Structure 1
Amino acid sequence: MAIFSKADLKELMEVREDICISIYLPTHRGGAETRQDPIRLKNLTTQAASELSNAGLETDTIERILAPAKALLERNQFWQHQDSGLALFLTDEQFYTYRLPLDFDEMVVVARRFHIKPLLPLLMNNGQYYILAVSQNQTRLFQATQHSIHSLELDELPSSLAEALRYDDPEKQLQYHSGNPGDGSPVYHGQGVGTTDDKTDILRFLRTVDEGLQPLLHNSQAPLVFVGVDYLFPIYQEANSYNFLLEDAVATNPDNLSAQEIHQQTWPVVETYFAKAQRDAEAKYQNRIETNQTISELRDVLVAAHDGQIETLFVPLGEQIWGRFDAEQRQITRESASTADNDDLLNLAAIYTLFCDGQVFAIAPEQVPDQGSAAASLRFPLPREMTTA
């Protein structure tokens, strides 16, 4: 399963058409509950069709735009290989589908841009993370969120120390006991690094692991948690080239742990990291209030986001404010409901901020600073006359 990346988000944000349809729904990984998922999608495509009809589109045009989404209804195998949530994005000529580790609320948005705000927790400091579970016998990689975990397969990742060194030093005889006579795989024993040669072999192995992760991690900023016996982690830190490897590891032998057990042991480590990033951003916001370097009025937030002035934006998940933003007049008009001619102004603020390399925290509504509909820390103070009185 492909990993949703910042490049994917950027591609979605760059789309601007007369009709952009965003569909979100929760899904199930297996069992009888999977039968509910295509029914949900069918109902959501019906809702989308109704909104497109209200926007004045002809029936033939509506059917053409929604055809890729409706085709999924008949693909039984598609529904047997889901994650926690499904996101679909359609225009008259484009169709994107993502199976994602987030439990989305059901939603249809028809607008002039894709509605990307529900995706932000995957990439913006409180969503997904990676787990590297390593012993000399086995290497496993996982993608996880607070509520889910699944295994990732990378061809470049060596499965064990023996595989990594097989062609590195063919004359060297590695000592091992076979754990499965019919399998022939070496199983290493011992509590630490006994000799210089041992550490050299392990370091070469872990450098090969680090290199194997690069195709996945080279554009990522998601934290990586190391799981392995305590003597391996310092050696992996020496081999590592990924900037977001966490300093705290889970010191245990992962060989006999299930994915769920690994998830239970790693989430507290990552939760601490995520919470600190948000606390630091909130503290910076509070420290800048007296210097006129914060804003919490929606109109001010949109103007600053459009102008590239926002360093950190806080927006509430699960809430939308429909309306229009006139960048030339620097004004907003709020509207009571979503239409094909307006936007979720919170979604628009997030897009503007991300395009200008700002940071976005999509968080619970009660966590937004100053109890506003949105709030932002600015890169530099604004003159008083530029903000809402």
Structure 2
Amino acid sequence: MEYKDIPTKADIERIASLREPGCVSIYLPTGTTPPEADRARIELKNHLARAVKSLEAMSIDRATIGRIQAEGELILDDRDFWRYQSRSLAVFLDGTVAETFRLPNRLTSACEIADRFYIKPLLRAVTFPQSALILALAQNSVRLIRIDPEAPPALVEVEGMPENVPAAVGLPSVSGRTASGRVQGSEGQKVRMLEYVQAIERALHPLLATSTEPLILAAAEPLVGIFRGATDYPRLLDDVIAGNPEEKTEDELAAAARGVLDRLYAGKVEALKEDFSTRIAGGTALVDLSDIARAATYGAVETLVFDIDRRVPGSLDDETGKIAYGDDDTAGNYGVVDEIIRRSLASKAKVYALRAEDVPGGGAVAAAVRFPV
């Protein structure tokens, strides 16, 4: 089983807002098997040992170091926590805060210590996540399938899920086919399908109530329309994998679902680019890094997009946002882009991690602003 604690925007804003000496940020790849979890646990233990030495070298007070060490040991000793892992783990400790997030994408191992948390890798997991749920819905069968960017598709067991229309309405099956008959005609059949779909929705509700993943429907009409009318899940996508899903394997459904996600995110990126193009022409979007740093400092950034792989060594003045460029990022200094991100999140900006070719203006960042600065 794979557990994901994908952070919400509020989680990221809260973590980004904290600024105290001795903030420890740890990222490491994990896995869903016991050997992978054991390796990740050992790696976290090693990161924590190095973090304690670094904190001591930075002259952080012993009480704070002791609390950070104790928080880390609680995570290490939590057997249930290590039984359920995803693809990566993010850990944030400062002696008061102890936050962990199990993430679906593979992140590079890192341990960073500064006067604030390192959040840039975290945003990769939440901008356009490549994980989703597929509901393969037919009259004679129903499957819930989870897809992830670095794992094969997996069937999800759902307690109370009906097997087919007859099972949902209390009728026997006939030769493996629905026992709907023709007595009640097409309207009677639709009523039975509605009862079937409602039973499915009830079974799914506990899982979907805590899920942050898109739900992709694989079905044919009239089940598509019936299911849409029966659910209020806000992340049900408009795009559908059409046709009878019984004719497709899990791998085929996963391939089709990735196409749905690609189209969804490509559309969002194009909409962002078009919006920025209009706003740049109108003077309400910026592409110059110095201008953006100043806007972020004064809380003017409304939407920020940045190149997830681009690093700009340097720092920002706390009062003016003026950039002091450096030759390389130093310990405790995450660079210009990360600090712009942190300040933008502090003013409730929308932040998107994109590929280099999708950033308007071709720079490291672009920003739509609420007011000129």
Q: CA offset at residue 29 of structure 1?
A: 2.3
Candidates 133, 137, 147, aligned match of 1:134:
137
Candidates 106, 128, 131, aligned match of 1:103:
106
The aligned residue for residue 33 of structure 2 is 30
> Is the 2:136–2:218 contact (alpha carbons within 8 Å) kept by the matching residues of 1?
yes
Candidates 284, 296, 300, aligned match of 2:275:
284
Distance 1:128 1:370, change over 3 A: same
Distance 1:189 1:233, change over 3 A: farther
The aligned residue for residue 86 of structure 1 is 89
Candidates 310, 329, 351, aligned match of 1:337:
329
Q: In structure 2, give the amino acid aligned to 1:24.
A: Y
Within the alignment, does 1:315 sit opposite 2:284 as a pair? no
Number of residue pairs the alignment of both structures matches: 367
> Is the 2:26–2:111 contact (alpha carbons within 8 Å) kept by the matching residues of 1?
yes
> Is the 2:273–2:358 contact (alpha carbons within 8 Å) kept by the matching residues of 1?
no
Write the distance in 1 (CA, Å) between the matches of 2:17 and 2:143: 35
Within the alignment, does 1:299 sit opposite 2:296 as a pair? no
Distance 1:32 1:126, change over 3 A: closer
Write the distance in 2 (CA, Å) between the matches of 1:222 and 1:311: 25
> Is the 1:109–1:338 contact (alpha carbons within 8 Å) kept by the matching residues of 2?
no
Within the alignment, does 1:9 sit opposite 2:12 as a pair? yes
Write the distance in 1 (CA, Å) between the matches of 2:167 and 2:121: 40
Q: Note the 1:344-383 alignment, pairs <5 A.
A: 344-379=335-370, 382=372
Q: In structure 2, give the amino acid aligned to 1:225.
A: I
Q: In structure 1, give the amino acid aligned to 2:193.
A: I
Q: Note the 1:166-315 alignment, pairs <5 A.
A: 174-177=171-174, 188=178, 195-207=186-198, 209-210=200-201, 222-254=213-245, 259-315=250-306
Q: Unpaired runs of 5+ in structure 1? A: 167-172, 180-186
Which range is displaced more, 79-88 or 10-19? 10-19
> Is the 2:301–2:368 contact (alpha carbons within 8 Å) kept by the matching residues of 1?
yes
Write the distance in 1 (CA, Å) between the matches of 2:335 and 2:202: 41
Q: CA offset at residue 104 of structure 1?
A: 0.3
Q: In structure 2, give the amino acid aligned to 1:372.
A: G
The aligned residue for residue 184 of structure 1 is none
- Per-residue deviation, residues 60-89 of structure 1 (Å, max 9, x unmatched): 753541344355556677555422111111
TM-score (normalizing by structure 1): 0.77
SS in 2 for 1:105: coil
> Is the 2:180–2:189 contact (alpha carbons within 8 Å) kept by the matching residues of 1?
no
> Is the 1:20–1:114 contact (alpha carbons within 8 Å) kept by the matching residues of 2?
yes
Q: Sequence identity, in percent?
A: 28
Distance 1:53 1:215, change over 3 A: same
Q: Which runs of 4+ in 1 moved over 6 A?
A: 74-77, 189-193, 218-221
Write the distance in 2 (CA, Å) between the matches of 1:123 and 1:21: 21
> Is the 1:5–1:219 contact (alpha carbons within 8 Å) kept by the matching residues of 2?
no
> Is the 2:219–2:244 contact (alpha carbons within 8 Å) kept by the matching residues of 1?
yes
SS in 2 for 1:65: helix
Q: In structure 2, give the amino acid aligned to 1:285.
A: F
Which range is displaced more, 300-309 or 203-212? 203-212
Q: In structure 2, give the amino acid aligned to 1:224.
A: L
Distance 1:95 1:351, change over 3 A: same
- Per-residue deviation, residues 227-285 of structure 1 (Å, max 9, x unmatched): 23443112222223234422221135546866545322311111111111112212222
Which range is displaced more, 282-291 or 345-354? 345-354
> Is the 1:124–1:361 contact (alpha carbons within 8 Å) kept by the matching residues of 2?
yes
The aligned residue for residue 69 of structure 1 is 72
Candidates 56, 60, 73, aligned match of 2:59:
56
Write the distance in 2 (CA, Å) between the matches of 1:12 and 1:153: 34
Q: CA offset at residue 354 of structure 1?
A: 4.0
